[in-house]
Structure 1
Amino acid sequence: MRKIYKYFAVSLFALGLSSCELDMVPYETIEKDDVYSSENAIEALTLGNYAILKGSGIADGQSWVNNYFRFGEYSGDNVALSGSTTDPLFYIYNFKRQAKGDRKQSVWTAAYKAIVGCNIVIDRAVEGESAEMDNVIGQNYYLRGMQYFYLTTLFGRPYNQSPETNLGVPIKLSTDVNDQPLRSTVKECYEQVIADLKKAESLMQSEKSASYATKEAAQALLSRVYLYMGDNDNAIAYSDLVINSGRYSLLSKDDLRVYPTFTPDENPETIFALRFVDGADNSGEWDDWYAFSGMYAAVDAEGKASLDGSGWGELYASVTYRDIVEEWPDDARSAFVTSMVLDKNSEDLWGVWYGLNSYKDSDSDEQKKLNGLLFHQDSVSADRTVLYQKLASDQGTKNMEVPITTVVDAKTGVTNYSVIPYQINKETGATQLLSAPVKLRINQKLATRQTYPKYFITKCSGQENKGHLWSPIISRLAEIYLNRAEAYAKKGDIGNALADVNIVRTRAIGPEAAYTPADVTAEMSLLDLVLKERRLELAYEGHRKFDVFRNNRNLDRAYPGTHLRGNDPFFEVRYDSNEIIEYIPEGEILAQPDLQQNL
């Protein structure tokens, strides 16, 4: 880590807010001894710390925020990679960890640059001189605590897995280049996070917009930190502080559908987000291609999904996420996933399904399992009663008519289709029915990439209706309700847990979708309901991987996607496996050999 501590560049990027524009002239006249104690310099250093985390724009592949969100989502179960890719995301997505790699190195480097920047402000600024200066100092405590929390979740095991002995990350609290701490335990890292966030909470008494850290932002993050620790009482207490502050409100259902279009400052639900600014952060010719969300979708100039738009569009909404977001006919959160129709003018119907379509006698059981997780798209009769299945073998092609079963869900009103398709022996041409029905999605014919139907994700695109412009959310009010719901669930408080879940759920769907105690069953526990809603609401916001493993749950990845290609694929990732945490970047181990590597 020595290379990080030797260098700290002060960025004067003011996040595009006119109220925080700075007069640059004083920097040219400040004496060397006063450079870090001048009020203007302290403010500039603080803005620089935000800028380090944000990076140089939406297409900055080295920025902290873009890369951290990749680790939180690509390693979850909300996404599915379509075929091969030249992007290094593959190693994150399929849990094939590497000690080398720009993504994790960028997270580590940017985080510690920001931490050192925060240390400079904390070391040189004087508390108590003014409420505004205290607020600035508090922002640095918040940013430092936030970074230690995020670093620990990425490089350290979940808190409930022996935090006294498992290692987190080095805790650097000084500006001394020769101060080279080793990795602290996970418990020590969380203690530092809490100390920093509580200090930030006490200092930040002035109101700021959602583009900056505030007292409520510290309380919001504390609610999550305590939840991760299993300290349910404190998770509830800090959630209460945010909810009862009166500063935030949930968007309406209609506004939720277009949540990404709002800037943080005009969104009453956003507590804190790293603000990206139109014109400053998305002005490059290729920015919309290389933006974080460029892998999720191609979009037009207004940020709407488009086959002819900008972006690679290689990483789609997983079938398991679509299964739950499509349970109700009008879940506002389904607006963030778009089925990409090949020809909108065509009235022909097609059905998408996955299952074992063909096999060889020599196929192993694992190979058959893999082949059973491949997509197929066949034409459907106009009255939606027959699937026309095409089966290819060495003996030629067979056309089979498969009856479609239609069932209308009595509670939701959703029409569900299923079929029992055929499978063919590729060598002999013999056919037989699958042993069980599979779900069929009927639509116009969908565009595909390497046989994977395109289900574009647009939750991280379209701010101000501009391409892939996006301000990554750190905390928002819906999360706080869900934090509190989970804490109540773990205390066995069914009434309060369901009340909080239903605040979020009925906003997105309607009162008809509210859970009752009767929905808690042996097959679906109270915690199951809470985590399902958390997955629905917070998808693509960097939470999912951590939500699964911190609850000692295994990650089910038995769904179509190229994570199941190659050697030793993970159909399931165990919560206690080594793969759930990242290696310390190799460059850091080489620079500081006594820094212990993860297993």
Structure 2
Amino acid sequence: MKKIFLLLIVIAFYGCNDYLDIEEKGKVIPESVEDLNLLMADYTKFIRSTVNVFFTNDEIKLYEDEVSRIFWGPEPLVNGYRWKDFIYDNPDMNDADWNNFYAQIYISNVVLDKIEEASGTNEDLRKMTKGEALAQRAYAYFMLVNIYGKHYNSATSLTDLGVPLYLDSDINKLKGRATVEEVYNQIESDLLEALPLLPETQEFPYHPSQGAVHGLLAKLYLYKGAWEESLYHVEEALSINSFLYDYNDYDFIPGAPKFAGLLGFPRQTFEHKETLWTKKADHPFVYGVAVYMSDEHLSLYEPGDRRLYFTNIDAYFFGPNQHGPVIFSKENYYKAGVHTPELYLIRAECNSRLNQPELAIADLNTLRGKRFNSDAFVPYEDVMTGEQTLDLVLKERRVELFLEPWRWFDLKRLNLEPNRQVTLSRTFNGETYELTPTSNNYIFAIPKRVINLNPLVEQNPRN
């Protein structure tokens, strides 16, 4: 039983797929390049990203008298909101993040095990399919190691525990946790190997491309503090796609409730022109009801910022909240992939840290000029130090990326810098909760179910 814990996850969530439970149900075995490419083309599986970090995000606010309205189950959200040791208390509960990412890894490993010997004469398709499998595996491990491991720290990464590292489709192996260094090295290796195998762009951006891989490499090196390497890859990504929507060109549909969306703004992932790689939060309504923007986050917005105008609305289709505006995503989903606004911000951060503040300010002004009412936008002046500019970049990350999962990872990485450490605090149901910069609960618990099935997986220390 313990030897098949990963297979159980795959069967439980993807058992209806003709290719994944082949040995158990005798269905079609993927033997050709075309078969393997179909595995990588499954939009519903590979688009899924994290939901857990939305529970712990410091930029939201809950009221105890309203959480019962959270129809999809308030327990994980409330546990995360209170930064409890375990978001999923019940050992029988599934952790969607762990399950989804390891399922993506399993599918990718099946493809990688078979792709070189698969039948077929379309060598371009063979290369692209292999590149997609490498890139998708890398993304899954990037999310897993940042959710369930400490943030990358060159002083401790050789011993800090990451996640189990599966590099083939043999699910009978029991593995313990690889180190953060080992997982990061594998992500880097997969992405660099994938680059020459992929096209520069893809027709549908849920397929990874060279631009997408460059973007994830830029993020990987940013998290490692390797500014020059990050800058190189973000420049490469932006050379492929640097498009930004001008929010002055959009407004809510006249005569319709605001949750109907913006007139002319794309609400299908494949139509979004700022997207290099589509990923989205596993749960589409995690902030759709009874969740508020925190007062501290609200204070970051300046007059005329259309990002706030589009994000705080009077009601969603579930009805209004009891204590104020509803958090709304104009895309109708929470982005978790690679998008041009963050690429501009990554380049700005790298240039700030490399003491090129004038370049960073230029990127901030480019982005902000597309986000403010045209009569309210005031460009930043190029008279700041790198450190002053970095403060602005980090603030802009919070505003621009509010409905994306990166804030939690930013808190973890910035807590490694003594001058940027913060202690989080909030009150719920009459009790105050704190999260210190060194708290173990910045690192999510390994699911209890996984620990029970595989004794080689060591649990993260809890507070």
Quickly name the TM-score band, shorter chain normalised.
0.7 to 0.9
The Cα offsets for residues 295-321 of structure 1, whole Å up to 9 and x where unpaired, read as: 423xxxxxxxxxxxxxxx211111122
For residue 162 of structure 2, give the secondary structure of its aligned residue in structure 1. strand
Q: Which runs of 5+ in 1 are unaligned?
A: 15-23, 55-63, 277-290, 298-312, 342-446, 464-468
User: Which amino acid in the other structure matches residue 44 of structure 2?
Assistant: A
Change in CA separation of 1:519 and 1:321 when aligned onto 2, cut-off 3 Å:
farther
The Cα offsets for residues 369-422 of structure 1, whole Å up to 9 and x where unpaired, read as: xxxxxxxxxxxxxxxxxxxxxxxxxxxxxxxxxxxxxxxxxxxxxxxxxxxxxx
Identify which of 298, 302, 305 aligns with 1:322.
Answer: 298
More helix by percentage? 2
* Cα distance, 1:234 vs structure 2: 0.8
- Structure 2 CA distance for aligned equivalents of residues 555 and 92 of structure 1: 18
Mapping of residues 137-536 of structure 1, within 5 Å: 137-160=130-153, 162-205=156-199, 207-208=201-202, 209-245=204-240, 247-255=241-249, 258=262, 261-274=266-279, 292-297=283-288, 313-325=289-301, 327-339=302-314, 449=322, 453-459=323-329, 463=331, 469-470=332-333, 472-509=335-372, 510=374, 512-518=377-383, 525-536=388-399
User: Are 1:594 and 2:456 an aligned pair?
Assistant: yes
User: Which amino acid in the other structure matches residue 328 of structure 2?
Assistant: T
Change in CA separation of 1:92 and 1:508 when aligned onto 2, cut-off 3 Å:
same
Change in CA separation of 1:539 and 1:104 when aligned onto 2, cut-off 3 Å:
farther
User: Which amino acid in the other structure matches residue 54 of structure 2?
Assistant: E
Q: Which runs of 5+ in 2 are unaligned?
A: 69-73, 252-261
Aligned to 2:7: 6
More strand by percentage? 1
- Checking the alignment, whether the CA contact within 8 Å between 1:77 and 1:320 is kept in structure 2 is no
* Cα distance, 1:132 vs structure 2: 2.0
Structure (1 or 2) with the larger CA radius of gyration? 1
Aligned to 1:347: none
- Checking the alignment, whether the CA contact within 8 Å between 2:290 and 2:321 is kept in structure 1 is no
Identify which of 75, 90, 94 aligns with 2:56.
Answer: 75
RMSD, aligned CA: 3.3
The Cα offsets for residues 213-272 of structure 1, whole Å up to 9 and x where unpaired, read as: 111111111110110010101110000001112x44111223576497432222211111
* Cα distance, 1:100 vs structure 2: 3.3
- Checking the alignment, whether the CA contact within 8 Å between 1:248 and 1:270 is kept in structure 2 is no
- Checking the alignment, whether the CA contact within 8 Å between 1:4 and 1:112 is kept in structure 2 is no
Identity %: 24
User: Which amino acid in the other structure matches residue 268 of structure 1?
Assistant: K
Change in CA separation of 1:535 and 1:594 when aligned onto 2, cut-off 3 Å:
same
For residue 167 of structure 1, give the secondary structure of its aligned residue in structure 2. coil
The Cα offsets for residues 506-559 of structure 1, whole Å up to 9 and x where unpaired, read as: 2112584322244669xx83221111001110101111111122112444545x
| TM score, norm. by length of structure 2 | 0.81
- Checking the alignment, whether the CA contact within 8 Å between 2:37 and 2:125 is kept in structure 1 is no
* Cα distance, 1:478 vs structure 2: 0.6
- Checking the alignment, whether the CA contact within 8 Å between 1:254 and 1:332 is kept in structure 2 is no
For residue 179 of structure 1, give the secondary structure of its aligned residue in structure 2. coil
- Checking the alignment, whether the CA contact within 8 Å between 1:78 and 1:540 is kept in structure 2 is no
User: Are 1:47 and 2:38 an aligned pair?
Assistant: no
How many pairs were matched up?
421
User: Which amino acid in the other structure matches residue 313 of structure 2?
Assistant: T
For residue 294 of structure 1, give the secondary structure of its aligned residue in structure 2. coil
* Cα distance, 1:480 vs structure 2: 0.6
- Structure 2 CA distance for aligned equivalents of residues 45 and 539 of structure 1: 32
The Cα offsets for residues 186-217 of structure 1, whole Å up to 9 and x where unpaired, read as: 11110011111112212112641223211111
Aligned to 1:91: 79
Change in CA separation of 1:255 and 1:96 when aligned onto 2, cut-off 3 Å:
farther
| TM score, norm. by length of structure 1 | 0.64
Change in CA separation of 1:295 and 1:241 when aligned onto 2, cut-off 3 Å:
closer
